[in-house]
Amino acid sequence: MSEAQLRNSDPDFDTWLGQQLQFSEPYLDDDGFCDGVMERLPAPTRRSDRRVTRTQYGAVVLASAIVAWQFPLDEVLAEAARQSISLYSLLGLGVLSSVAAMFGGIVAARR
């Protein structure tokens, strides 16, 4: 369906939506209550930032351990032996990709 067809498909809906978007409730004055609550909240500390970072690292290590536990390593090693692939190359590639994935996950989570 084209954009023009979507726009013209239900004029009643467009009218209703326009009315709903223009409807505004009067401002409910809270006498500065929300501002007071926000001012009393404690500022984030470096300790809490470190705790969050440690938690992220722990979650990544735990997830990696679960994936490694479920990975059919014996079948991969048997196939690698049949294909005469260097096991050190295979292991190195696996470790490198795991480290890259963990690093990318941590960087993405910290943004």
Global pTM? 0.37
Distance, in Å, from the CA atom of 104 to the CA atom of 111, rounded to the nearest integer, reads 11
109 close to 49: Cβ distance less than 8 angstroms: no
pLDDT over 60 at 4, yes or no: no
Of 96, 90, 66, 68, nearest to 77 by C-alpha is 90
Give the rounded percent of residues in the chain with a pLDDT score beyond 70: 86
pLDDT over 70 at 35, yes or no: yes
Residue 32 is classified by DSSP as: T
Residue 109 has a CB neighbour count (10 Å cut-off) of 13
Per residue in 48-84, pLDDT tens? 778 888 888 899 889 988 988 888 888 877 877 787 7
Q: What average pLDDT does range 31-58 have in this prediction?
A: 86
pLDDT over 70 at 94, yes or no: yes
pLDDT at 1: 44
Residue type at 36 in one-letter notation: G
Q: 4 or 85: whose pLDDT is higher?
A: 85
pLDDT at 9: 60
102 close to 64: Cβ distance less than 8 angstroms: yes
